[in-house]
Amino acid sequence: MDLQYVTEIQLGGGGGDRASRPAKVAVGATVSLSGVNLREQQVLVIQDEGVLGNLYADGIIGASLFQYVVEVDYDREVLRLYDDLTEEPSHYGHSFKLGFTFGIPVVDASLTVDGTEWMSAELIVDTGVNDPLLLFAHSADVLSPPERVIEGRNRILSEGFTGEMLGSTGRIAHLHMGPFSFGEVVASFPEKESMGPALQLGRNGMLGNEILRRFTVVFDYGGERMFLRPGETYGEPFEYNMAGLVMVREKESFRIEDVIRNSPAEEQGLRAGDHLIEINGRGIAEYEGPEIGRIFSAQGESVEVTVERESETFHRRLACRRLI
């Protein structure tokens, strides 16, 4: 790509295994998006090969995009950029005031874990978080995980930017955001010690993609506001992987990071380190990103997987059921 590197820096993020990851810095690049040219951009090139393998993408575009008003239409899978709001604000849905932490947007909400004690919460808005919610139990006494949770054998929630994030997953009773209300929301509770550099972001948790995708979302950073308009999936229930698998995508497979206790995957003998190379007879490369998540989140679905363990290859059938 003929990038001109000027220095190398250390990048932090979620995960407690290491403090940071190295990235080379290039300047003066042009990033083009369907006729929109972002010029004189700084580009960070991460040096650890495969660290972004589970993103279904080649990289991340950040704050430069938000010099525009950005509309994310999840139903139509379309991203729209505007110089400013082209309609009256009410056209875009309900307006939320945004705060910022290290340049990352934060929105106010209220929630209750057990249905009795309510709290006001500041939630970081992060489209890169696949869970509905990550809640930081260390930030408030009433954010302790619910009585009933599920955990992997190794307590791995996901692979963060700087290592594994450990914790448990349960359901909270209610989440309120302006006029919108959700019940029985799946929420993960990462351990404070495994959050790594992400701990400095503060706040009470993160609002993830499994909530955002239920809306058309408009970000107006200049106006310090976000708009939410309910979409076609607004009323869908929140689900967790019903096979009990915590996975990271690689080029031609999914690597199993952890297996939930007493889950279909554990009952069929799957374990951390195994690789899924086929799902229902199709190679992993044939699947689009969200498609596999839907397969493993369907109650009563029987999913056939082909598993590679060292030099051995075998088949298992997983009968998906609600674990939480």
pLDDT tens-place string over residues 164-201 = 889 999 999 999 999 999 999 999 999 988 877 777 88
CATH number where 300 lies: 2.30.42.10
Final residue of a domain: which of 44, 63, 82? Answer: 63
**What's residue 289's pLDDT?**
66
Question: Are 295 and 171 part of one and the same domain?
Answer: no
Find the mean pLDDT for residues 80-90. Answer: 91
**What's residue 12's pLDDT?**
75
Question: Which of 240, 246, 254 shows the shortest CA–CA distance to 155?
Answer: 246
Res 79 pLDDT > 80: yes
| Angle at the Cα of 8 from the Cα atoms of 103 and 58, rounded to 5 degrees | 65
Question: Are 138 and 285 part of one and the same domain?
Answer: no
**What's residue 60's pLDDT?**
85
Question: Are 264 and 185 part of one and the same domain?
Answer: no
Res 243 pLDDT > 90: yes
Burial of 292 (0-12, 13-18, 19+ CB in 10 A): buried
In the 8-state DSSP scheme, what is residue 145? P
Question: Are 290 and 215 part of one and the same domain?
Answer: no
**What's residue 53's pLDDT?**
57
In a domain, 86, yes or no: yes
In the 8-state DSSP scheme, what is residue 131? S
Question: Are 80 and 223 part of one and the same domain?
Answer: yes
Assigned token pair, 186? 């799946």
When pLDDT is cut at 50, 70 and 90, the band that residue 54 belongs to is low
Rounded to the nearest integer, the mean pLDDT of the chain is 90
Domain that holds residue 57: 5-63
Distance, in Å, from the CA atom of 141 to the CA atom of 283, rounded to the nearest integer, reads 45
Question: Are 182 and 157 part of one and the same domain?
Answer: yes
Res 206 pLDDT > 90: yes
In a domain, 237, yes or no: no
Res 55 pLDDT > 80: no
Final residue of a domain: which of 63, 83, 112? Answer: 63
The larger pLDDT score, comparing residue 22 to residue 48, is at: 22
Res 88 pLDDT > 60: yes
Distance, in Å, from the CA atom of 38 to the CA atom of 70, rounded to the nearest integer, reads 14
The larger pLDDT score, comparing residue 57 to residue 125, is at: 125
Res 162 pLDDT > 90: no
**What's residue 163's pLDDT?**
74
**What's residue 47's pLDDT?**
81
pLDDT tens-place string over residues 262-273 = 999 999 999 999
Rounded to two decimals, the pTM is 0.90
Question: Are 261 and 172 part of one and the same domain?
Answer: no
In a domain, 33, yes or no: yes
Phi and psi of 156, rounded to 5°? Answer: -85, 125
DSSP strand pairing (133-135 vs 118-125): unpaired
pLDDT tens-place string over residues 141-161 = 889 999 999 999 999 888 777
Final residue of a domain: which of 63, 92, 111? Answer: 63
When pLDDT is cut at 50, 70 and 90, the band that residue 56 belongs to is low
Question: Are 138 and 223 part of one and the same domain?
Answer: yes
Instruction: Report DSSP letters for 234-269, one per residue.
Output: TTPPP---TT-EEEEE-SSSEEEEEEBTTSHHHHTT
Find the mean pLDDT for residues 229-238. Answer: 95
CATH number where 93 lies: 2.40.70.10
In a domain, 240, yes or no: no
**What's residue 52's pLDDT?**
61
Question: Are 54 and 89 part of one and the same domain?
Answer: no
Phi and psi of 216, rounded to 5°? Answer: -90, 125
When pLDDT is cut at 50, 70 and 90, the band that residue 75 belongs to is very high
Question: Are 187 and 308 part of one and the same domain?
Answer: no
In a domain, 16, yes or no: yes
In a domain, 236, yes or no: no
In a domain, 52, yes or no: yes
Percentage of residues in the chain with pLDDT exceeding 70?
Answer: 95
In a domain, 143, yes or no: yes
**What's residue 220's pLDDT?**
96
Count of domains forming the chain: 3
Question: Are 119 and 93 part of one and the same domain?
Answer: yes
Question: Are 225 and 161 part of one and the same domain?
Answer: yes
**What's residue 18's pLDDT?**
63
